[in-house]
Amino acid sequence: MNEIYDENIVKIEFLLRKVCFGIKKRGRVILDEYKITPPQFDALQCLINSGDLTISDLSLKLFQAPSTITDLVDRMENSQLVERSRDIKDRRVVRVSVLQKGYDIIDKVVNERCEVVKDALKSVNSDNRIEFIKYLDIIYNSSFCSCEKK
């Protein structure tokens, strides 16, 4: 490490990294139960949060090549998670939208993930949870996370 950081900063970075890894690891187990992959989960979340998107827009939001997203959407369409449809205003534009099965799976997965977080925080009182949210929000709203909000 070239720079000397306050030991608390080093500890926070370490803990955030470990928490992210744990969430990712446990999240994959949950996704396996519903037969979807992490990229499919990310795409469904993105579509649900942003509304119908073109392949190009989805590829920008997920930081993937359009060809990768086309393959991903093909598999999701075959699993009846999403559908492609022509844009009403411009028939040349194809939009991807989430089908009910996709919404249902995301709802179930997010609920299970919330149960994991609830269990992890069972010894933390309500006031401390609110304080924890405040600090996570500061990190989320920093320039560090700004690329995710586009």
- Domains along the sequence of the chain with CATH: 7-149 (1.10.10.10)
Query: Tokens for 36?
Result: 């979807």
Q: What is the DSSP letter of 99?
A: -
Confidence at residue 68, expressed as pLDDT on a 0 to 100 scale: 96
CB 70 within 8 Å of CB 54: no
Confidence at residue 3, expressed as pLDDT on a 0 to 100 scale: 76
> What is the identity of the amino acid at 137?
D
Confidence at residue 142, expressed as pLDDT on a 0 to 100 scale: 87
Residues in the chain with pLDDT values less than 70: 1-2, 144-150
C-alpha pair distances (Å), 1 with each of 4, 5, 10, 75, 76? 7, 9, 11, 43, 42
Confidence at residue 138, expressed as pLDDT on a 0 to 100 scale: 92
Query: Could you give the CA distance from residue 61 to residue 50 in angstroms, rounded to a whole number?
Result: 10
Confidence at residue 150, expressed as pLDDT on a 0 to 100 scale: 47
User: How many Å is the Cα radius of gyration of the chain?
Assistant: 18
pLDDT > 90 fraction of the chain, expressed in percent and rounded: 82
Query: Could you give the CA distance from residue 19 to residue 8 in angstroms, rounded to a whole number?
Result: 16
- Phi first, then psi, for residue 63 (nearest 5°) are 55, 45
